[in-house]
Amino acid sequence: MQTILAVLFALLAALSNALATVLQRYAARTVPLAAGLRLALIGELLRKPVWLAGFGAVIAAAAFQALALLNGELSLVQPLFVLELPFALFLAGIVLHRRLPPRGWAAVGCMVVGLGLGLWAASPSGGVNRPHAALWAAALPACGAAVFLLIAVAVRRPEGRVRAMCFGMGAAICYALTAGLLKDATQAWNDDGPTAFFTAWQTYGFALVGVAAVFLLENAMQSGPLVASQPALTLGDATVSLALGVTVFEERLRGGWYTVPMLLGALLVVCGALVLVRVPLIHTLVGPKDGKDSKSGKSGKDGKGGKGGVDAKDAGAP
């Protein structure tokens, strides 16, 4: 029963995150880009009502995610968030009154089958509710070092695929780390009540890392095409969550020949995601209007000085 609840709450969290994605990406495309890491970006977005509505959806997603992590393993719950992208496209279609093309539905089916196959093969089980402090002491610096390295690479690159991918991977690590800290803090509440939750360092840790994740995500969305940032975000979150589940929460995954369908499932998810981010529907939502940057009027060619980061090929144009 707990596994069913974990899956249900995880799907609701993914749906809420998808709604936040649609609203926040719509707002993010209305602010100008800068060559470096934009510390003022969040302040600009806070003045956008659509972005604030999206942030409300983020809070709802966090509540559902906490319930999912309370009932299931980290390595089960977080991979389900790869469905956020199909959910986002579905919601975008409703908002824009457009239909997902057949190849889009085929990609969604590919992702769902791949996710199901991968989770069946992995069959996450066991684990501890409250990891030992020494395990967090090793995991936190490792994740932090990886994020800072990705940021250092990103800020030295022009707008384009590499910059978007680096910011996306950095956001993925932060999201996975947020989930791990949230699971630990939620278990503290479940075991010892609200006082334990608000006095646990993990509570303030997941809040801080969560803000960093949102900040990196906004920069990833503005830095280049979704074909670079979204797969890095979606697949990176699942991969790092699996790693944290095994190393920090001591969860067990099936090995042996099950590794083959596990890798096949991951490959199907990757293929589906790469197709989905090229569907014109999503670029209609997040790309510059008429191929121009809304602030500068320059064409948005990836990696060639433009601001939009979406070229005709990435937008699905013939």
Give 49-64 pLDDT, tens digit per residue. Answer: 777 887 888 889 889 9
Digit-coded pLDDT (tens) for 56-96: 888 898 899 999 998 889 999 989 988 888 888 888 777 66
**Among 36-45, 152-161, 276-285, 289-298, the range of highest mean pLDDT:** 152-161
Helix (H) or strand (E) holding 252: strand 251-252
Give the helix/strand (H/E) hosting 126. strand 125-126
Tokens standing for residue 93: 């279609």
Helices (H) and strands (E) in the chain, counts: 13, 2
d(CA 306, CA 291): 10
Q: Write the pLDDT tens digit of every residue in 125-143.
A: 878 888 999 999 999 999 9
Q: In the predicted model, what is the mean pLDDT of residues 205-231?
A: 85
- Judge contact between 298 and 306, C-beta under 8 A: yes
Partner residues linked to 125 by β-bridges? 252
CA 140 centroid distance within chain: 19
Whether 90 and 260 have beta carbons less than 8 Å apart is answered as: no
**Residue 163 near residue 151, CB atoms below 8 Å:** no
pLDDT of residue 12 exceeding 80, the answer is yes
Q: Would you call 31 helix, strand, or coil by DSSP?
A: coil
Domains of the chain, by residue range, sit at: 2-290
pTM score of the predicted model: 0.76
What's the CA gap between 75 and 130, in Å, rounded? 15
pLDDT score for 30: 61
Q: Is the dihedral of CA 175, 178, 183, 186 positive or negative?
A: negative
Instruction: Give dist(CA 68, CA 48) in Å, integer.
Output: 30
Position 119 pLDDT exceeds 80: yes
Q: Residue 290 pLDDT > 80, yes or no?
A: no
Asked whether 300 and 291 are in contact (CB, 8 A), the reply is: yes
How far is the C-alpha of 146 from the C-alpha of 41, rounded, in Å? 22
Q: Concatenated DSSP letters for the chain? A: -HHHHHHHHHHHHHHHHHHHHHHHHHHHTTS---SS--TTHHHHHTT-HHHHHHHHHHHHHHHHHHHHHHHS-HHHHGGGGGGHHHHHHHHHHHHHT-PPPHHHHHHHHHHHHHHHHHHHHH--EE--SS--HHHHHHHHHHHHHHHHHHHHHHTTS-SSHHHHHHHHHHHHHHHHHHHHHHHHHHHHHHHH-HHHHHH-HHHHHHHHHHHHHHHHHHHHHHHS-HHHHHHHHHHHHHHHHHHHHHHTS-EE---GGGHHHHHHHHHHHHHHHHHHTTSHHHHHHHSPGGGB-TTT--B--TTTT-SS---TTTTT--
Helix axes 84-96, 259-276, angle to 10 degrees: 20
Mean of pLDDT over the chain: 81
